[in-house]
Structure 1
Amino acid sequence: MASVDIAAPPSGFDFDVETLIIGSGACGMVAALAAHEAGQDVLLVEADAVPAGSTALSAGLIPAADTVFQRAAGIEDSPTLFAADIQAKAQGENDPALVSAMAGKAAHVLEWLAQEHGLPFSVVTDFDYPGHSRRRMHGLPGRSGQELINALRARLEALEIPLICNRRANRLYANGNHICGAQVTLPDASTETIGCARVILACNGFGGNREMVAEYMSEINKAVWFGHDGNRGEAVVWGLALGAETRHLGAYQGHGNVAHPHGILVTWATITEGGVQVNSAGQRFWNEAQGYSEAARAVLSQPDGVAWVIFDSRIAAIARQFEDFKTAEKQGAVIMGHSVDELAKRTDLPAPALQKTIADIPVEGSDVFGRVWGGQPLTAPFCAVKVTGALFHTQGGLATDPDTALVRNNKGGIFENLHAAGGAACGVSGSGDSGYLSGNGLLAAVTLGYIAGTYRGDAEPGILT
């Protein structure tokens, strides 16, 4: 378990702040922008030398319904439909109030970031993500999580919102139900204490803590860890020590399309636009349309825990809007062949089996795995990437009040000044891996971060105008 603890408050703190935010990924920085705009004195502390977190490892895409960006693209959507999609993917396992809060708040948060902070969001309009009944994934021009981090950090700097790096929080000071502050450790092992009126835990999940992964999600314990190593589970450890309620600690986002051994995410557009996955025998082994989170276990169950994603040059052209895919091409992870035989030779896959696999893909209707087809068939030249399954980040965490992001205690009440957001909080992906709907991680990060940031104990939480 993470080496963090809870202690009684000291007689005095090294310094004090109104709102202390632990973690400066997208969640923490959105919370800081919202709290600052609400007139609060804010401080972010970050364990790393620079902000990054899980956000920087993602494509930076955030789902939202009924946005100005969708309307400009002629896409009709609604928060109600979005919430229904979230619940359908998770088979109704989520807290309906939490789903409603996230689905209802997402459009406002994106439009606020665009209008007030200049982040140039646009909606992805050239392919569909599994489980979304509308095209509602929004991102910055480069479709990069690092780009999102850089844009948010630039706004913090422009507004002179304090962000102190190389400060890992290892202790919370509590007096009963009230959090009084935190202790942070510096690179030289010295410590500082920070008093505060409230704390927002934006320190993500516990995917980087192998002991916790083994305890709560043993089926993915052997997978490549593709998240941020700083995700050590401090929020859950603190919460359990304080008597907080936790939910769905076995929930996680996997991904079965990580280039091997390059360790580069290959966009799932290679599948949704008509690609397939085959094992070392050149044969398909599952219904890829179920989603990329489920794909992690499906791929890991194959010989040597690897597979090949097979697509064509048309799909590759779509995938190039993502920086990760372009990086994969530059590093030689994307193999091309002008015929199936050439591709088989270059990948060391059996040509007859690969020929049959591609020939058996129907033009329309369902295949033997239950996948429904209706797009364009694969045509030469063909592409292939060797992939493996990975754990991206955990989706369970501290249970929160949807209206305030305040942490619930295990006696039915809530903590008066402890918030959890993003990966520190329970998200809306159900209890396992199959409930993850594309973008759920960043959806929880920006919506709960915003809700926590705008909340004040002396007033109802609201919407910044």
Structure 2
Amino acid sequence: MSVAPPPAGGFALQFDTVIVGGGAGGMVAALTSAEQGRSCLILERDAVQAGSTALSAGLIPAAGTRMQANAGIKDSPSAFAVDIQTKARGEADGAVVKALCAQSGPTIEWLAETHDMPFSVVADFDYPGHSTRRMHGLPSRAGQELVDRLREACTRMEGIETLTEAKVTTLYAEEDGEIAGVAYTRPDGGLDRVGCGRLILACNGFGGNAEMVAMQTPEIRDALYFGHDGNQGDALVWGAGLGAATRHLDAYQGHGNVAHPHGILVTWAVMAEGGVQVNREGKRFWNESLGYSEAAREVLRQPGGEAYAIFDSRIASIARQFEDFRAAETAGAIVTADTPEALAARLGLPGPTLVQTMLGLESLKACSFGRIFDPTKRLRPPYHGVRVTGALFHTQGGLDITPEGQVKRAAGGVLPNLYAVGGAACGVSGSGDAGYLSGNGLLSAVVLGRLAGAAP
């Protein structure tokens, strides 16, 4: 990865907008840019567009949508902004938060109405940190469906060209930092150059770069990496060469409920609806209501770096709306038993301790970890359990940006025509892992992609 002066011979091809990365953020930016009448080229390093989006549940938080209104849910961008800043301890860029929240609803409705994406609200459980139900997803509740539908929309849209197996290696910049074009390698190893009026970096963060993770987020360095291997920190390398500002490089989204050793995400709905996590000793060890990002660190601190999620059939019926949960059941990761004793035997846990833990939940209203329990959601047989571990999903720090996604200079001001979206940009989670509010990743990918794509 490098930054170099423009080639003396110029560029044989020129596009108004070039986008590095063909995940959700990149494709939304392309759709929006093409709507403005701009020619657009997506350069995707993989043979098929997927990215980290395809590994997620594909849920996008949005406030004030008609989908919420139809479900009887009251919400507003200002309430959403308060939730983000509360979780992030006020560390997120207020202007970026305001812009993302204001445009979240219009972006979801645009995808639904213009690009025929049947979003609906997850209306049967609450995500930690959200004061109302605002997570929007497609029917499968899987990120792969979101990627597939966006890819189809880009194929239909006039003015968008996509090259796959095209790995960008060099940004060409003028002395003032204006991007003139990029170089990328073809599958045969050859090198091509293309010029651009503006460049949008949608190549995510650095979760796949073990050296960068160890340096910036050492507490999660030994966790299972559940993101895309292509997230190598390219945007940060190019940014350094351009004098770009960065922010919150220690921020990341973890997840403490990945079926182990199967490597399948188990939705946090199992915790939100009354489930608990226990360690190898059969004991609870933290407040599961805080969120799934900080859960990764808590689980990894337990013996063997693992835990066991315990829930019941009522909760399982809610979780089955997610494709990943159904896959975990099919893989045999989730076991079922009629009694706590039998469940302990199936999970290989000490029976008396697990029985004591589960019996203790029967009348518990609050616990020493600070969790408040809903008495209407007591666990009832048959019970379910799954062995889980903590994972790193994606980094949340990145290039510092304006509310439109334009990259800032470390010395002040902005780079003339460089934008960053999704994991390439600093998100709205503040520092560390505890500031991550459910959906922050796709919020900054999809909504920021829309804002950057529409920017002058």
- Please give the alpha-carbon distance, in whole angstroms, between the structure 1 residues aligned to 2:446 and 2:155: 19
- Please give the alpha-carbon distance, in whole angstroms, between the structure 1 residues aligned to 2:318 and 2:407: 41
User: SS state of the match for residue 293, structure 2?
Assistant: helix
**Corresponding residue of 1:201:** 201
Look up the equivalent residue of 1:380 and give its one-letter code: P
**Corresponding residue of 2:289:** 289
- Please give the alpha-carbon distance, in whole angstroms, between the structure 1 residues aligned to 2:250 and 2:84: 18
**Corresponding residue of 1:352:** 352
* Match status 1:140 vs 2:141: no
Paired residue for 1:104, among 102, 105, 110? 102
- Please give the alpha-carbon distance, in whole angstroms, between the structure 2 residues aligned to 1:153 and 1:15: 23
- Please give the alpha-carbon distance, in whole angstroms, between the structure 2 residues aligned to 1:251 and 1:362: 37
TM-score if structure 1 supplies the norm length? Answer: 0.96
**Corresponding residue of 1:398:** 399
Show the 5 A alignment for 1:328-347.
328-347=328-347
- Please give the alpha-carbon distance, in whole angstroms, between the structure 2 residues aligned to 1:189 and 1:222: 34
Deviations 1:90-143 (A, max 9, x none): 100111111101111100100011111111000000000000000000000110
**Corresponding residue of 2:453:** 453
**Corresponding residue of 2:172:** 173
**Corresponding residue of 1:386:** 387
- Please give the alpha-carbon distance, in whole angstroms, between the structure 2 residues aligned to 1:313 and 1:365: 21
**Corresponding residue of 1:51:** 49
Look up the equivalent residue of 1:296 and give its one-letter code: A
Shift of 1:273: 0.4
- Please give the alpha-carbon distance, in whole angstroms, between the structure 2 residues aligned to 1:166 and 1:226: 22
- Please give the alpha-carbon distance, in whole angstroms, between the structure 1 residues aligned to 2:277 and 2:214: 27
**Corresponding residue of 1:155:** 153
- Please give the alpha-carbon distance, in whole angstroms, between the structure 2 residues aligned to 1:108 and 1:187: 38
Judge conservation of contact 1:269–1:315 (CA < 8 Å) in 2.
Answer: yes
User: SS state of the match for residue 173, structure 2?
Assistant: strand
Shift of 1:363: 4.5
- Please give the alpha-carbon distance, in whole angstroms, between the structure 2 residues aligned to 1:372 and 1:68: 32
- Please give the alpha-carbon distance, in whole angstroms, between the structure 1 residues aligned to 2:351 and 2:293: 29
User: SS state of the match for residue 311, structure 1?
Assistant: strand
* Match status 1:27 vs 2:25: yes
Shift of 1:364: 5.8
Deviations 1:371-408 (A, max 9, x none): 01114110111100100000000000001111x21100
User: SS state of the match for residue 274, structure 1?
Assistant: coil
- Please give the alpha-carbon distance, in whole angstroms, between the structure 2 residues aligned to 1:422 and 1:246: 14
**Corresponding residue of 1:462:** none
* Match status 1:6 vs 2:3: yes
Show the 5 A alignment for 1:427-442.
427-442=427-442
Look up the equivalent residue of 1:170 and give its one-letter code: T
Look up the equivalent residue of 1:117 and give its one-letter code: H
User: SS state of the match for residue 377, structure 2?
Assistant: coil
Shift of 1:368: 1.4
- Please give the alpha-carbon distance, in whole angstroms, between the structure 2 residues aligned to 1:321 and 1:436: 23
- Please give the alpha-carbon distance, in whole angstroms, between the structure 2 residues aligned to 1:63 and 1:444: 10
Look up the equivalent residue of 1:294 and give its one-letter code: E
TM-score if structure 2 supplies the norm length? Answer: 0.98
Deviations 1:145-186 (A, max 9, x none): 000000000111112421110001111001122000111112
Judge conservation of contact 1:14–1:192 (CA < 8 Å) in 2.
Answer: no
Look up the equivalent residue of 2:131 and give its one-letter code: S
Look up the equivalent residue of 2:185 and give its one-letter code: T
Look up the equivalent residue of 1:342 and give its one-letter code: A
Shift of 1:341: 1.1
User: SS state of the match for residue 250, structure 2?
Assistant: coil
**Corresponding residue of 1:277:** 277
**Corresponding residue of 1:90:** 88
Aligned CA RMSD, in angstroms, stands at 0.9
- Please give the alpha-carbon distance, in whole angstroms, between the structure 2 residues aligned to 1:339 and 1:186: 58
Shift of 1:339: 1.1
- Please give the alpha-carbon distance, in whole angstroms, between the structure 1 residues aligned to 2:396 and 2:292: 15
- Please give the alpha-carbon distance, in whole angstroms, between the structure 2 residues aligned to 1:339 and 1:59: 31
- Please give the alpha-carbon distance, in whole angstroms, between the structure 1 residues aligned to 2:354 and 2:332: 21
Deviations 1:294-328 (A, max 9, x none): 00000000111010000011101100000000000
User: SS state of the match for residue 419, structure 2?
Assistant: strand
**Corresponding residue of 1:425:** 425
User: Closer, same or farther in 2 for the Cα pair 1:84/1:212, shift >3 Å?
Assistant: same
Look up the equivalent residue of 1:391 and give its one-letter code: L
Look up the equivalent residue of 2:373 and give its one-letter code: W
Look up the equivalent residue of 1:359 and give its one-letter code: L
Look up the equivalent residue of 1:387 and give its one-letter code: V
Deviations 1:263-301 (A, max 9, x none): 000000010000000000100011111110000000000
**Corresponding residue of 1:305:** 305
User: SS state of the match for residue 358, structure 1?
Assistant: helix
- Please give the alpha-carbon distance, in whole angstroms, between the structure 1 residues aligned to 2:201 and 2:45: 13
Judge conservation of contact 1:422–1:441 (CA < 8 Å) in 2.
Answer: yes
User: Equivalent pairs: percent with the same residue?
Assistant: 58
- Please give the alpha-carbon distance, in whole angstroms, between the structure 2 residues aligned to 1:92 and 1:455: 27
- Please give the alpha-carbon distance, in whole angstroms, between the structure 2 residues aligned to 1:249 and 1:127: 32
User: SS state of the match for residue 289, structure 2?
Assistant: helix
Look up the equivalent residue of 1:372 and give its one-letter code: I
- Please give the alpha-carbon distance, in whole angstroms, between the structure 2 residues aligned to 1:96 and 1:366: 34
Show the 5 A alignment for 1:401-412.
401-402=402-403, 404-412=404-412
User: Closer, same or farther in 2 for the Cα pair 1:272/1:203, shift >3 Å?
Assistant: same
Shift of 1:188: 2.5
- Please give the alpha-carbon distance, in whole angstroms, between the structure 2 residues aligned to 1:339 and 1:362: 14
User: SS state of the match for residue 297, structure 2?
Assistant: helix
Judge conservation of contact 1:45–1:167 (CA < 8 Å) in 2.
Answer: yes
Give the stretch that moved more between structures: 275-284 or 367-376.
367-376
User: SS state of the match for residue 254, structure 1?
Assistant: strand
